[in-house]
Amino acid sequence: MDSRLGGVAVTIKDVARLAGVSASSVCRTLAAPDDVRPDTRERVQRAVAELGYYPNRAARGLITGRTGNLGLIVPDIANPFFPDIIKAAEARARELDYAVFLADTDEDPAAEMGLIRAMSKQVDGFLLVSARCSDEELRSVYDDMPVVVVQRCVRHVPAVTFDDHDGIRQAVGHLATLGHRRVAYVAGPRTSWSNKERQRILRSTTSAAGIELVDTGHAAPTLDGGTAVADLVLATRATAVMAFNDMMALGLLRRFRALGVDVPGDISVVGFDDIPLAELVDPPLTTISLAKQRVGRAGVDMLIGLLDGRLDRAPRTILPTQLTVRASTGPARRD
């Protein structure tokens, strides 16, 4: 009763030999237990248990074209926004008996394509979260294998996105009510679809609310990125600032604190994502919450639906967003 992973490497032949049957029967017992005679099944199952046999997925994939693996690619695991999505995706995949291969691109579009290429034959499909590569590239990947993009829209490519419009509308309304008339937007990566989207929505929403939107240019969507543009934000004399994501917003808070700038007294700060830290910092961050628990699950379900041929065309799922008001926003300061 050796339950180790396989003493060196147990193959289907070892099982067949021990059970006194052919490899075909072992295979069949595993795939369709009802198609073999009970006593055969039992002998095989005993042998499998005894040897600790576990089929080689890579070899199986070679012939079936299915590996039982999903590729999950994110720009930056250090951004606490992604772990929630990742964990939900992994959990859902596990339920459906898929393994998840995860990779981090470090926000680098080139690394992204490299990883996709390296993984491509070892997974059945990809879940690309906030992919930074071009539409062209994305579509070319989709030509070859099932892909679901998260937080991005590309024609003909299945996608799970957030209804950014709703959250932004709430946030802008909130700021307008507090008397803000000049709001800065700290943009994220130029290559980020959601950054463009948020910027676009923000422009129309603020102008509708009679708010002037000031642009402070792009920065890395990280703590340091936020910290780096903080001075620029102050220079705009905006009374409130919205950041592309919470990490940037936290970076702003850090720098503001260092400068003795009071939040929200001197300036209000709004983030995006509602990462777990948002409520821990001082002051707790007002931010736009996304249904991130659901996105991982929805993405995996869509991907596997695609694999199973249950879905055709390019399905779309849109998940809700909502403003969560905390202490980092307050009445506009009077100049």
Partner DNA sequence: TTGAAAGCGGTACCAC
Partner DNA sequence: GTGGTACCGCTTTCAA
Which lies closer to its own copies via its Cβ, residue 183 or residue 290?
A: 290
The piece of 41-49, 136-144, 230-238, 296-304 that touches its own copies (CB under 8 A) is 136-144
Enter the DSSP assignment of 220.
-
Check residue 259 for interaction with its own copies (CB under 8 A): no
Residue 157 neighbours by CB under 8 Å, 6+ apart = 138, 139, 142, 147, 148, 149, 314
Query: Which residues lie closer than 8 Å to 197 by C-beta, 6 or more apart?
Result: 153, 164
Stretch that binds its own copies, among 31-39, 103-111, 169-177, 266-274 (CB under 8 A): 103-111
Residue 287 interacting entry, from its own copies, DNA, none, C-beta within 5 to 8 Å by type: none
Q: Are strands 147-150 and 125-129 parallel, antiparallel or unpaired?
A: parallel
Identity of the residue, 36 or 248, whose beta carbon is nearer to its own copies in the bound complex: 248
Residues in 266-325 that interact with its own copies by CB under 8 A: 276-277, 280-282
| 279, two tokens | 């409520």
Distance separating alpha carbons of residues 115 and 126, to the nearest angstrom: 11
Among 67, 239, 287, 329, binds its own copies (CB under 8 A): 67
Q: Cβ closer to DNA: 1 or 32?
A: 32
Which residues neighbour 218 within 8 Å (Cβ) at sequence distance 6 or greater?
Answer: 187, 188, 189, 190, 195
Among 31, 49, 59, 110, binds its own copies (CB under 8 A): 59
**4 touching its own copies, by CB under 8 A:** yes
Cβ neighbours, 10 Å, residue 110: 10
Cα separation of 79 and 104, whole Å? 11
Beta carbon of residue 13, minimum distance to DNA (angstroms, whole number): 6
Across 302-331, b (16+ Cβ under 10 Å) vs e yields bbbbbbeeebeebeebbbebebbebbbbbe
Residue 101 interacts with which of its own copies, DNA, none, CB < 5 to 8 Å by class = its own copies
Selection from DNA, its own copies, none that 63 binds (CB < 5 to 8 A by kind) is DNA
Q: Given the structure tokens 């628990």, which residue do they identify?
A: 293
Largest CA distance in the chain: 88
Evaluate whether 168 touches 288 at the Cβ level (below 8 Å): yes
Nearer to DNA, 60 or 174 (CB): 60
Cβ proximity to its own copies: between 113 and 183 the closer is 113
For position 262 contacting its own copies by CB under 8 A, the verdict is: no
The span from the CA of 211 to the CA of 203, in Å, is 9
CA distance 53 to 149: 36
The burial of 93, by beta-carbon neighbours within 10 Å (0-12 exposed, 13-18 middle, 19 or more buried), is given as: buried
Residue of 17, 174, 182, 254 that binds its own copies (CB under 8 A): 254
Cβ 7 to its own copies, closest distance in Å? Answer: 7
Least Cβ distance, residue 219 to DNA (angstroms): 41
Q: Judged by CB, which is closer to DNA: 29, or 286?
A: 29
Among 223, 238, 241, 306, binds its own copies (CB under 8 A): 223
Contact mark string toward its own copies, 81..100, x via CB under 8 A: --xx-xx--xx--x----xx
Minimum separation from the CB atom of position 67 to DNA (A): 11
Distance CA 306, CA 196 (A): 28
> Minimum Å distance from CB 180 to its own copies?
25
Residue numbers at the binding site for its own copies (CB under 8 A): 3-9, 54, 56-59, 61-62, 67-69, 77-78, 80, 83-84, 86-87, 90-91, 94, 99-104, 106, 111, 115-122, 140-141, 143-145, 223, 250, 253-254, 276-277, 280-282
